[in-house]
Amino acid sequence: MAAFKLNLFTPKGVIVKDLECNDITIPTVRGEINILPEHTHILTELGTGILTAKTNTGVRHFSVTAGLCRVLKDTVTILSFTSEKVQDIDLERAKAAKAKAMENLSGKISLTDVDLIKNRRKLERAEMRLRLANLK
């Protein structure tokens, strides 16, 4: 089976470059998409979630949040606002972040619309990190 390359970049640096893949599942704002060799060229907006890359040596998982995905020829390029590898997830920090976001969203304190959106995103990212940590 023909393979293609995955590049995953964030403003803080390169997460993975030229990873040979056979299959990638990518979270987008419209739902998950599956990329296979010879996929049509696309440009789409990322959602928050877990990117799964299947390689000849196994499956790799990465978190992604907001950004762009471009499929062009034999290369998938992901530009994500943040991204983490499974081994970089701090489980205790993710649990604490989830608890804090849930507390803030519980209604015990008054939140502005902006703070409400921020806390929902924090909760979404914390839950994604916890799911990712369970994939180790």
Report all structural domains of the chain as residue ranges with CATH numbers, in order of start.
4-86 (2.60.15.10), 90-133 (1.20.5)
With a cut of 60, say whether residue 1 has pLDDT above it: no
Tokens describing residue 49: 């979630």
Confidence (pLDDT) at 30: 94
Return all residues near 7 (Cβ < 8 A) that are at least 6 apart: 14, 16, 17, 18, 19, 75, 76, 77, 78
With a cut of 70, say whether residue 97 has pLDDT above it: yes
Residue for token pair 């916890």: 130
Its pTM surpasses 0.85: no
